[in-house]
Structure 1
Amino acid sequence: MSLRLVAATFALAGMSFNAHANTECDISVDANDMMQFSTKTLSIPATCKEVTLTLNHTGKMPTHSTGHNVVIADTANLQAVAMDGMSAGLENSYVKPNDVRVYAFTNVIGGGESTSVTFSTEKMTQGGDYSFFCSFPGHWAIMQGKFEFK
């Protein structure tokens, strides 16, 4: 076997490993017109230094009436972040600008739309108590779940 063939084999093996490693750091969740997320738990391994979160709005309602987003925060801060977000308005995706309690958030989208956000996990602690929720006014009370970084 030639040295080039061996090098190419290792390169392909490395690319395959990296592709797998990246997919475990990519997560998605669906939201519908009934104010429900498709899951109650989003989980990523603590080895993920960066995460891409995709939200798909599977309903038909427009952004201004039943839009959805995903916000990630410490569970202890969920209600306060949501309440502060209501006054931030749709133009800020119902998230207070520069809110240090928020690890990540997507834009608010309407039915049939998708959006993604890529964020660093640098400020998160493995096994920490995190939640995800929709900050559209009134939605956070029922549209929430656990965000696991383990």
Structure 2
Amino acid sequence: MKTTKYGVMLLAAVLAFGAVTTSPVQAKVPAGTEVNDAKQVKTIVIKGSDAMQFDLKEIKVKAGQKVKLTLTHSGKLAKAAMGHNWVLLKPGVDVATFGSKAAAARETEYIPASEKASVIAHTKLVGGGESDTIEFTAPAKGTYTYICSFPGHYALMKGSFVVE
């Protein structure tokens, strides 16, 4: 019985001493090394208003980074009168041509079926007080255009999506 008692006390002492003297091992990054944060999710909130304006004219992300974008309609007008979406276009897409085709695509929330290959990502159409969140992977380095494709909005509601 004494052996068990001393064994338990010895085990408790070893555990207590080990708990006091051990610390987690931390990874060290050599000085001058850039930590690649492309694997971290970039969260973006962009607002569209009844004045046909996005509150962000430029968005910056890293190539290959996961992007979680929320479009919020900060106005009060209904979707039918002043709907907004956020559409990220591929390089080389003519915005005016896309916008003209989008104006006729009411049944697909102003994303023309004939132009789906021109779109990298897009939200749903939202009205006043509504929002929509999408997730996608940032494309290759470059500068891309984003617009609202509701009829006539692309002229004012556009910006640059910069991928570094």
TM class by smaller structure: 0.7 to 0.9
Please state whether the residue corresponding to 1:135 is helix, strand or coil: coil
The answer to whether 1:61 aligns with 2:77 is yes
Match of 2:144 among 114, 130, 133: 130
Residue 145 of structure 1 corresponds to 159
2:24 paired residue number: 6
SS at match of 2:102: helix
Please say if residues 93 and 106 of structure 1, whose CA atoms lie closer than 8 Å, have aligned partners that are also in contact. Answer: no
CA pair 109-59 structure 1, distance change in 2 beyond 3 A: same
TM-score (norm 1): 0.78
Would the aligned equivalents of 1:82 and 1:95 in 2 still touch at CA under 8 Å? Answer: no
Moved segments of 4+, more than 4 Å:
none
Read off the aligned partner of 1:63 and give its amino acid letter. Answer: K
- Aligned positions, number: 134
Corresponding position of 1:71? 87
Gaps of 5+ in 2: 1-17, 28-36
User: Take 1:75 and 1:66, find their aligned partners in 2: how far apart are those partners?
Assistant: 27
Look at both structures and tell me which one has the larger radius of gyration over its CA atoms. 2
Could you say what the CA RMSD is over the residues aligned between the two structures, in angstroms? 2.5
Structure 1: state its 5+ residue gaps: 11-17
Partners of 1:109 and 1:34 lie apart in 2 by: 15
Distance 2:137 2:96 in 1: 23
Q: CA deviation at 1:47?
A: 4.5
Cross-structure match for 1:21: 40
Alpha-carbon offset, residue 79 of structure 1: 2.2
Q: Which amino acid aligns with 1:45?
A: K
With the length of structure 2 as denominator, give the TM-score of the two structures: 0.72
DSSP-derived class of the 1:99 partner: helix
Which of 57, 80, 89 matches 1:40? 57
